[in-house]
Amino acid sequence: MRAALIALAALAARAAAAASAAAPLARPFAAPEMAGNPPAAGLGGLTEVTLALGVVLAAIFALAWLVRRLRIVAGREGPLAVLAEVRLGPKERAVLVKVGAAQLLVGVGQGQLNTLHVLAEPVEVAGRGAREVPERPSFRALLLKSLGKS
């Protein structure tokens, strides 16, 4: 393997030497005509850079809006979890929250949070209008699955 690499490097060096000997340079490496006269920066280049920046910023804002809209956040582990929610209006919704072993029905409005009902028995979440929040796997489980070690 090592001998093959050395032979390949020697072959490449010979080919480069033959190419440089066959075609002599017509002009020096640093072109003197370009050194004294730099190209003028036109309005087209500035427009192209501005449009590219606008596209990147629009993509960032669109992604942030999508994450906020879909409520894609880190896994919710611990004693507090949102089980389901139903939109009641543009800025109002009813949310079923699990706190420890208890479940609360909470009304969320603009700048307000009101406890609507404390459930005596936990209910199974399977509503037609409710949005179920799926249980997210941990980072460790995802990593082991991607490595094929599950």
Where along the chain do its domains lie? 80-134
Task: Report which secondary-structure segment, H or E, holds 73.
Answer: none
For residue range 14-31, list pLDDT tens digits in order: 777 766 665 555 555 665
For residue range 80-116, list pLDDT tens digits in order: 888 888 888 888 999 999 888 889 999 999 889 999 9
Task: Report which secondary-structure segment, H or E, holds 72.
Answer: none
The mean predicted confidence, pLDDT, of the chain is 77
Phi and psi at 12, nearest 5°, equal: -65, -40
Burial group, residue 134, by CB count within 10 angstroms (0-12, 13-18, 19+): exposed
Q: Express as a percent the part of the chain with pLDDT over 70.
A: 67
Return d(Cα 102, Cα 6) in angstroms, integer: 72
What is the chain's alpha carbon radius of gyration, rounded to the nearest angstrom? 32
Give the Cβ contact number of residue 84 at 10 Å.
19
